[in-house]
Amino acid sequence: MTYEGFRQSVLEEMAAQGISKADLRAAYVEEMEASEEWRILYPRIYQGTGGYGSPKRAAETYYMAVNWMMDNAATAPAAFRAIYCAACVAKEHAFPVFFVDAQLLSAVLNTDPPSGVRWTEMKLPFEAGVFCLPRGALRYVDGSEVNHLGWLRAHKGDALRFNERAPAVNALNDAFLVYAQPLNDEGTVLFSNLNADERPYIDNSEVNDSWRGTFDLPLTSGDDEFLRLCRSLVFGLLMVMNARPALISYGRREGKQSKKTRREFWTPNIIGRGYRAQREHQGGSHASPKAGWRHGHYTHQIIGNVRNNPDFVSAGSLPRLFDGRIDWDSIDDDTRVKFWRHHYHHWLEPIWVDGQAS
C-alpha cells in the first residue's frame, strides 16, 4: 500500500468512529505531556515570544524522535533517528532555543556564505539547538509555515543516549545535521546531513538524503531547494552569531516557576533584537535601479599586530580559483591553521536599495 492509500484508509477509519484530527492530536498531546520525557524536553517557558515559532512545538519534535526510538528504534524513520541524536546532545544544555528577529533573518538570507569554512572547526554557541523563526517568514513547498530549524554537530566516537530506557547511537564520523519542522498535518520533517569525510565545508551542494517525514517518504519536487535554503540559513545564523556577538540578547531566569508544571519562566534568547537592515536611497525616477537587496558577504579581517610575524599568512598569498575565490582544497592544514590564527570573518551586511518599484 502506498502512503497516500494508507493515509486515506486511516482517515476513513477515523471518520467511521467519529474521531477528528483535532481529537487525535488532543489525545496525543495529553499522552506526551504526561510523560517523564516531556518534563525533560520542555524545561522552560519563554515569555514574550508571540511573534515567533513555538518553542513548545520544537520540544514536541524532540519528543516524537525520542518516543519513537524508545518504542521501536529499528522502525524509526531516518529523520527521527537523526533528531533523536540532536535531542541527546541538546539535553546537556537544557535544550537551547534562539528566537530570530525578522529583519536579521532577511539580512542573513541576502548574505552570500563564505568559502573555506570547515563546519568541524566553527565556533558554535552549542553543539545542538533550535532557531525559532518569525511567524510566516519561511514556508515549506506546500505553503505551510516552518516553525523552527534545528542543528546538531556530532563528533566521531560520540555515544548518544537520552536515558537508560533509550538506545545508544554511536556517531561513526563527524556529521552536521540540519532539520526543519513545517506546521502541516502530514508529519513532515525534513533533514540534511553533512559527512565530514565527504563534505567538510559549508557549501550549497545538492542534498544527498533521500527521505523525509514520519514514514520515510521520498523527497518531492522542491525539497532539495528547500533543504539547501534551510542549511544556508542555519549556517548563516551561526556565522552572524560569531561575527556579531553583540546581536545576541541572552535570556535570564525570571525567578519563578509554573505552579502546574514546575517549569521555569525565562526571557528569550533573541538574535537581532532591534536590528535594522541598512538602506540606501537612490530616488524613484525611471532611471533608478529596481528596489531590492544588494547582497552582503564576508571578508577576512586581520586580528592583532602581525608585523614581522613569521607565522602570519596573508589572504593575498593564498592560491585562487578562476573566479577569484581562495582555493581552500589546495591549501595544506598547517597553512590553513596559521591563516585562521590571525584572521576572522567580518560581516559586510546586505543593503536594501530604495529604487524604482518593480
Backbone angles phi, psi at 201, to 5 degrees: -105, 155
Q: How confident is the model at residue 22 (pLDDT cuts 50, 70, 90)?
A: confident
215 SS3 class: coil
pLDDT confidence of 4, banded at 50, 70, 90?
low
Q: Where are the beta strands (DSSP E) in 87-174?
A: 97-100, 128-132, 146-154, 159-161, 168-170
CB atoms within 10 A of CB 209: 18
Q: What average pLDDT does this structure show over 41-70? A: 94
The grid coordinates listed for 180 are 526543519
Q: Which of 216-220, 261-265, 285-289, 308-312 has the highest mean pLDDT?
A: 308-312
Q: What is the pLDDT of residues 168-227, one digit of tens each?
A: 999 999 999 999 999 987 778 889 899 998 888 887 777 676 666 666 777 788 888 999
Choice between 263 and 71, residue whose per-residue pLDDT is larger: 71
Q: For position 284, what pLDDT does the model report? A: 57
| pLDDT, greater one: 313 or 221 | 313
Whether the pLDDT of residue 241 is over 70: the answer is yes
Residue 151 CA to its chain's centroid (Å)? 5
Range list of H helices, the chain: 3-16, 21-33, 36-41, 55-72, 78-90, 102-109, 223-243, 333-341
- Band (pLDDT 50/70/90 cuts) for residue 282 is confident
Determine the average pLDDT of the residues in 6-34.
Answer: 80
Query: For the segment 119-158, what is each residue's pLDDT rounded down to a tens digit?
Result: 999 999 999 999 999 999 999 999 999 999 999 999 999 9
Give the pLDDT of residue 1.
Answer: 44
Question: What percent of the chain is modeled with pLDDT above 90?
Answer: 61
Is pTM, for the whole model, over 0.85?
yes
Q: Which of 154, 137, 227, 150 is nearest to 190 (CA)?
A: 227
pLDDT band at 281 (very low <50, low <70, confident <90, very high): confident
Lowest-confidence range among 13-22, 135-144, 245-254, 325-334?
13-22
Using alpha carbons, select from 293, 173, 150, 126 the residue that is nearest to residue 231.
Answer: 150
